Amino acid sequence: MFQTVSLLIIAVLTAIDQLTKYVAVNTVKVNGPSEFLFGLFQFRYVENTGAAFSSFSDNTLVLTVLTVIILLACLILLCSRKIKSLFVNICLILVISGGVGNVIDRIIYGYVVDFIEPLFIDFAVFNFADCCITVGAFMLIGYEIYGLISEKKKKADKND
């Protein structure tokens, strides 16, 4: 049951990503940039042939293969039920969802459609999939750091 729900959530988040990119291609690409959220952000169409911050630009094949390998490993881990933490599973669901959304773009277009640009800071243009990956990864990193600190504290308390 858990695997079914997890895969359904991944499918829904991936569909949201693809829908937002479809809208961006058919409106932002056609009409040009437009500001939103009180001018803090703008919709701006970008074709990203690289990874985060356009790193590894024009290496679509390598990025696609590497991403698919990582996604398969995450999916196997998620579906194996070896991870007992619901929090970690949610992190994996977010990372997988975003990764699948961006892989679909790379396979279909040869690039990832990005369209959200913060104007209040000099930052990369990104998309919904990037948000899922980033939130999932940072939550997982925070979880692991918290675990390490807790473990170190327990050892210190035990030695006192």
* CB burial of residue 89 (10 Å; 0-12, 13-18, 19+): middle
Going through 21-111 in order, the beta strands assigned E by DSSP cover: 34-36, 41-48
Cα(101)–Cα(99) distance, integer angstroms: 5
Please indicate whether residue 130 is annotated as part of the active site.
yes
Dump strand ranges (E) for 78-149.
Answer: 112-118
Q: What torsion do the CA atoms of 120, 123, 128, 129 make, to the nearest 10 degrees?
A: -160
User: In the annotation, is 17 catalytic?
Assistant: no
End-to-end CA, the chain: 45
Q: Which of 114, 122, 157, 160 is catalytic?
A: 114
Asked whether the beta carbons of 126 and 51 are under 8 A apart, the reply is no
Question: What is the set of active-site residues?
Answer: 114, 130
